[in-house]
Structure 1
Amino acid sequence: MKRILTSFFAVLLLGAVVSCSSVPEKNPNLQRQWMLISFGNFSKQELIKNKAEVNLTGAMEKGRIKGGASMGCNNIFFTSEFKSGGKVKISGVGSTLKACQNMELETAFSQKFDKMTNYSIEGHFLTLSDDNGNSMKFVAADWD
């Protein structure tokens, strides 16, 4: 009986060690909730009023983060891959399909978001930009 219990606990301990070592690491500078503060012709007050945000707190798997966003109405989902050299690839953008009163911000964001190809993080700010001079600037939600 002692051998069986010892073997059982050894298997449990080995399983715990293996599962802990396979947990993907998070990048605390990137994987956070980001509030949109500058985008196109939209005022900062309008972005704040709509609670425009991108959430990158999901686990990183194979270098990709499954994220979410909201521009005040629908839930937007996507996959992002932040690469060295300040490059980003955003793909698989989709959203729920609720009819909302003000769809201008959401439509503009959805049309531009997956076109962003560059990123930079400076302090508590994340900037996404494309090769045509369009950009989106975010501030970390946990920053006072």
Structure 2
Amino acid sequence: MKKIRLSFFAILLLGAVVSCSSVPEKNPALQRQWMLISFKNFSKEELVKNKAEINLTGTMEKGKIRGGANMGCNSIFFTSEFKSGGKVKISGVGSTLKACQNMELETAFSQKFDEMTNYSIEGHFLTLSDDSGNSMKFVAADWD
């Protein structure tokens, strides 16, 4: 009888440990690498040449994703929080400080990125926009 009780309590304890473990949240439609294809007056060819992208493949914790971006030179890092109703909050934007020949795209992106307040996902496209009508359009990197 003692062996049965001991086994029962061991199973209960193991179940409690498993249920309390932290399982990272995932949103496969959002947590992808996204290639920038439309932004301000930059041509699609220029964006592709610079390999302009944001990477949202990081782990989501408490609804926030630590992300990264590259616009051709410096590594850019940020925290993003995608909320219901198509709202997004981008904060903590920073970057490495390498001096590069063509910094126009990177400077423009850095100035506007954390002002984006809305998002939408339609198929393989992610669009970020602000309340003034400025937008950035991305295509999923894993989509042909």
Q: What TM-score range do you get, normalising by the shorter chain?
A: 0.7 to 0.9
Write the distance in 2 (CA, Å) between the matches of 1:92 and 1:16. Answer: 34
Give identity over the alignment, percent.
Answer: 85
Distance 1:81 1:24 in 2: 15
Q: Deviations over 1:69-103 (max 9, x none)?
A: 00000000000000000000000000000000000
Alignment partner, residue 101 of structure 1: 101
Match of 1:85, SS state, is helix
Alignment of 1:141 onto 2:141:
yes
* AA partner of residue 47 (structure 2): L
Amino acid at match of 1:131: D
- SS of 1:27 mapped into structure 2: coil
Report deviation, 1:17: 2.5
Q: Unmatched 5+ residue regions in structure 2?
A: none
Q: Who is 1:33 aligned against?
A: 33
Q: TM-score, normalized by length of structure 1?
A: 0.88
Letter in 1 for 2:95: S
The residue number in structure 2 matching 1:79 is 79
Matched with 2:18 is: 17
Residue 23 of structure 1 deviates from its aligned partner by 1.4
TM-score w.r.t. the length of structure 2 is 0.88
Partners in 2 of 1:48 and 1:71 — Cα distance?
10
In the alignment, residue 72 of structure 2 is paired with which amino acid? G
- Residue type of the alignment partner of 1:40: K
Greater Rg, structure 1 or structure 2?
2
The 1-side partners of 2:32 and 2:76 are apart by 16
How many residues are treated as equivalent by the alignment? 137
In the alignment, the residues of structure 1 paired with residue 41 and residue 15 of structure 2 have an alpha-carbon distance, to the nearest angstrom, of 56
Query: Which residue in 2 is equivalent to 1:44?
Result: 44
Aligned residues of 2:76 and 2:93 also touching (Cα < 8 A) = yes
